[in-house]
Amino acid sequence: MINYSALLRSYDLKVTPQRVAIVEELYLNGHMNIDDLYKKLLSKFPSISLATIYKNINAMIEKVFLSEVKIANTKSVFELVKEEHAHLVCSECGNIEDMILDVSSILTEANNRSQFKINSTNIILEGLCCSCNK
């Protein structure tokens, strides 16, 4: 069991029931867009407003506690910041999975063949997930 309040505090964010719920949803679901979050939280807080969701998401991004994942042809989703990883996205159902990839060969190649000094990667692999591949 995770202590969401302590997690929030460790990122310098005041604890409120709404914030705890946001973090809990993201922790349990991995990736969610604004609407998903809003609908989920509405059942717990019937009078929560979208403005509250936006303000909190932005505050959490500011503290580098959350990050936004931009995917082609899809609304952005948000996730808790963790170890760098790639996203596998199903082009059929939109399902998103995390995978920690060995990117050393790509990094070496990019650093050797360009003038860039690369320091982070953002990799999205698109395809069909297990259930949509049938």
Partner DNA sequence: CTCTGTGCAAAGCGTTTGCAAACGA
Partner DNA sequence: TCGTTTGCAAACGCTTTGCACAGAG
Binding mask 21-40 for DNA (x = CB under 7 A): -------------x------
- Rounded to the nearest 10 degrees, what angle do helices 34-44 and 17-29 cross at? 130
The minimum distance between CB 64 and its own copies, in angstroms, equals 12
Residue 31: burial class (beta carbons within 10 Å; 0-12, 13-18, 19+): buried
CB of 20 to its own copies, least distance (A): 26
Give the nearer residue to its own copies in terms of CB position, either 47 or 73. Answer: 73
Q: Judge whether 9 and 49 are in contact, CB under 8 Å.
A: no
Query: Of the listed pieces 11-19, 85-93, 107-115, 123-131, which binds DNA according to CB under 7 A?
Result: 11-19
**Which residue in 52, 67, 91, 95 binds DNA (CB under 7 A)?**
52
Give the span between the Cα atoms of 123 and 73, in whole angstroms: 16
Amino acid occupying residue 16: T
| Partner from DNA, its own copies, none binding residue 59, C-beta < 5-8 Å depending on class | DNA
Angle at 79 between CA 32 and CA 52, to 5 degrees: 65
Q: Which of 10, 74, 76, 108 binds DNA (CB under 7 A)?
A: 76
Q: The tokens of 13 are what?
A: 């964010």
Q: Using CB distances below 5 to 8 A depending on partner kind, what does residue 82 bind out of its own copies, DNA, none?
A: none
In whole angstroms, give the CA distance from residue 60 to residue 80: 9
Q: Which residues bind DNA (CB under 7 A)?
A: 9, 13-19, 34, 45, 47-52, 54-56, 58-59, 75-76
